[in-house]
Amino acid sequence: MLIVMKPDATPAQLETVCAHVRELGLIPHRIRGETWTINVFGVGRSAPTERLAALPGVSACEKNGEPPTLVRRQQRPQGTTLMVRDEPIGGGRFTLIAGPCAVESREQVMRTAECVSREGVRFFRGGAYKPRTSPYAFQGLGDEGLRLLDEVKSRFDLRIVTEVKDVETLPAVVQVADVLQLGARNMHNYSLVEAVGKVGKPVLLKRGISATLNEWLLAAEYLLAGGNAQVVLCERGIRTFETMTRNTLDLAGAVLTKQLTHLPVIVDPSHGAGLASVVPPLVLASLAAGLDGAMVEVHPAPDQALSDGPQAVDFPAFADLAAKLRNMRRSTELP
């Protein structure tokens, strides 16, 4: 059960509510957001919600504690802006994060970094540790990949967005990453989510491949409840019956999520659609829809890529997309 306090609730009222909870044989656990929330443990299905809801200072009392709380837009109606080494995500800006799916070689990342930074990109993506469906697939270059990302970081003044695969390799990733990416497969891996939340760095949380919007917000809630509010949400396609596209990019879900939460919301049409020809139109669409950014896979030679080649755009296609984005941002009053 969750007890949400009013914004103007006094410390004395908070204490009184906790005392009532203890009297009922239950355990109150306080969570500090913009307002106080008390998570009550040990509650059966016959919890006295009405009685607690009637106490002074209480705004609402929710059984089961299911709905996300700290991530709700009402907590910060003006929205959250992340600052990543002086570059914002959110706050009305449209942020492009670009780079290869996986770090494959020095030449590949340097050429790609040069291409995207030339187009004005400030955030570079690239996986060093890759969770893969098959034990026999390319699993990333590991530490060597991190070293190459570190070189990209200093040479091109790019902020590094890279995936965290597990708790074991987290410390190494933290040394290099400016934004820690939690991938779709790990959105439901709450032990890792909690560990990543404690690091204190910005987190990019991808939506699980079959996660509802509510479950996605609840995963973000784990981060905020753990004290880390520097979170950006990334819709990357959900699994449906359609097979011509790799997944189904849920742009409407991303738009709705932005209305529900104060966190920035971006999309990853590369994974979402899985086809390079569809990626640029979807990036333009996400800008027009008022989202906060997009993540795009770029590769010098997509047909040589060790992972996910068909969804990577090549350099000319990326330059063309970047030009269209600049043109659209300059001239259009967006929603």
Contacts to a second copy from residues 194-233, by CB under 8 A: 209-210, 212-215, 218-219, 221-222, 225-226
Residue 330 burial class via C-beta count within 10 angstroms: exposed 0-12, middle 13-18, buried 19 and up: exposed
Long-range contacts of 42-46 (CB under 8 A, 24+ apart): 43/1
From 32, 137, 144, 157, residue interacting with a second copy (rule: CB under 8 A):
137
From 24, 60, 110, 251, residue interacting with a second copy (rule: CB under 8 A):
251
Q: Cα-Cα-Cα-Cα dihedral of 6, 203, 270, 133, to 10°?
A: -110
Contact between 74 and a second copy (CB under 8 A)?
Answer: no
Least distance (Å) between residue 98 CB and a second copy = 18
Only segment of 5-13, 73-81, 174-182, 280-288 that touches a second copy (CB under 8 A): 280-288
Of the pair 86, 168, the CB lying nearest a second copy is at: 168
From 149, 204, 205, 238, residue interacting with a second copy (rule: CB under 8 A):
238
Total residues binding a second copy (CB under 8 A): 90
Amino acid symbol at 142: G
Contact between 278 and a second copy (CB under 8 A)?
Answer: yes
Residues between 167 and 196 with contacts to a second copy, criterion CB under 8 A: 167-168, 185-186, 188-192
List all residues 6 or more positions away from 178 whose beta carbon is below 8 Å from its beta carbon: 84, 85, 123, 153, 159, 160, 161, 201, 202
* d(C-alpha 200, C-alpha 197), whole Å: 6
Least distance (Å) between residue 14 CB and a second copy = 17
Residues between 17 and 46 with contacts to a second copy, criterion CB under 8 A: 39, 41-42, 44-46
Largest CA distance in the chain: 68
Contact between 47 and a second copy (CB under 8 A)?
Answer: no
Q: Residue 113 in contact with residue 121, Cβ under 8 Å?
A: no
- Nearest residue to 121 via CA among 280, 263, 307, 294: 294
Of the pair 172, 255, the CB lying nearest a second copy is at: 255
